[in-house]
Amino acid sequence: MAKTIESTVLITLGPGMEAPAGTLYATGDDLSFRYDSTYTISSDSFDLFPSMPRSLAPFFFSGLGPFSDSAPDRWGRKVFSRSLKRTRVSESEYLFGVNDLTRQGAIRFIVDGKPAAGDEGVPVLSKLPELLDTADAVEQNREVSDVSLRRLYRATGSLGGARPKASVSDRNALWLAKFPKPNGDDWDVIGWEAVTLEIANMAGIKVPEHRVIAIKDSEERSRTVLLTHRFDRVSAPSVERMERLPYISAMTALEARDGDGGDWLDLAEFTRRAGGDTIELWRRAMFGAAIGNTDDHLRNHGYLRKNNSWQLAPAFDMNPEPFDPSLPDSHQMSLLGDTEVDIDKLMSDESLSLFGVSRKYADHWLPTLRSALSQALSRAAMRRIDMHSINLMAERFDKAVHALQ
């Protein structure tokens, strides 16, 4: 029989303010949670998740439920199960196996008076070549030392997505390092993601601070790594002293499950109720439709708790796809039930009303979007992206610019 683990759940309520929100009981793949009575009546407290309004009644989950944002996603699970040398890992093991310092958001788990999985430090930027080599070994299913696997997992933790990645510390801040795949991609995915962040920022979309660096792997190959600032942390003299910002994914916000594509209608309604910026959300939908960002599932959108409301987190994981005239863009995020989301549909009266965007504002912003998109190929050349990768995306951006004229 699986052992039940009892954990105090801590949450950040503001700068220098951390409080116990309640107690989590985990048994294998099943969880239950009960708010602390003091927390429920505190004027500074808030519902940890939309699906868990403050009360004294317990909540039960088969699986991690809304706590999944605090646990590893596909890449992290792959590394963790490899480090344990097991294919069967319980949900509670995944949850409590995350390094306390790199765990996503502001929720912390305290077991027997100590942070779950400890706080064994965060690799510094100079350790990236070693982390990349270990990530390559995991991707290629090669032998790698237990020490290297544990070090990579401590850096990976609850970071989402399937692409190899890790957290590193640099310049008194925490950064997410996104690695290229060991056998290469069909195009320079990392380079294009960096360019996408640049042109999204030019179009007035909030993105995290980011930069691209080149490192040498064990075979002396030059590899491109994208570094993005962890927006769920506030920089401090040390990683241990960083303020943690509460974060929920759109999947958690909409009480959905992994694999649920979601609809812009539901996301706009939640954003409006939570006090967020629905016009910014519309800009992101328009930008994603223009570049063919079809991997726009609910985990790739998120919210930060600021000023007593859930505000849109900076945009992340936006990637262009080569244009294929024989296939319409089928997005994971639908628009009023339609997965073929394009600029014309987002500019319809019905869509503008959904996002609370006036026709005057939409027409005024379109030249800004067009200008940003028209500079994508030249920005890619400035980033020294190879010509094959640039040519592969040329038709996508040409089509987007023409659609906005």
Helix (H, G, I), strand (E, B) or coil at 5: strand
CATH of 237-402, one of 3.40.50.1110, 1.10.1070.20, 3.40.50.150, 3.40.640.10: 1.10.1070.20
Q: What sign does the CA torsion over 115, 120, 125, 131 have?
A: negative
Axis-axis angle for helices 189-202, 359-374 (nearest 10): 140
Low-confidence ranges of the chain (pLDDT < 50): none
Fold classification of 123-227 is Phosphorylase Kinase; domain 1 (3.30.200)
What pLDDT shows up at residue 259?
A: 77
What dihedral do alpha carbons 97, 102, 105, 111 form, nearest 10°?
40
Structure-token match 């628009």, residue found? 335
What pLDDT shows up at residue 119?
A: 66
What pLDDT shows up at residue 60?
A: 97
C-beta separation of 60 from 32 below 8 A: yes
What pLDDT shows up at residue 236?
A: 84
What pLDDT shows up at residue 292?
A: 97
C-beta separation of 267 from 301 below 8 A: yes
221-253 pLDDT per residue, tens: 889 999 999 999 998 888 888 999 999 999 999
What pLDDT shows up at residue 271?
A: 98
Helix (H, G, I), strand (E, B) or coil at 110: strand
Helical residues (DSSP H) of 10-101, grouped into ranges? 37-41, 74-84, 91-96
Domains 123-227 and 237-402 share a fold: no
User: Domain spans of the chain?
Assistant: 3-113, 123-227, 237-402
Helix (H, G, I), strand (E, B) or coil at 20: strand
119-135 pLDDT per residue, tens: 667 899 999 999 999 99
Query: Would you state the structure tokens that stand for residue 259, as one six-digit string?
Result: 């694999």
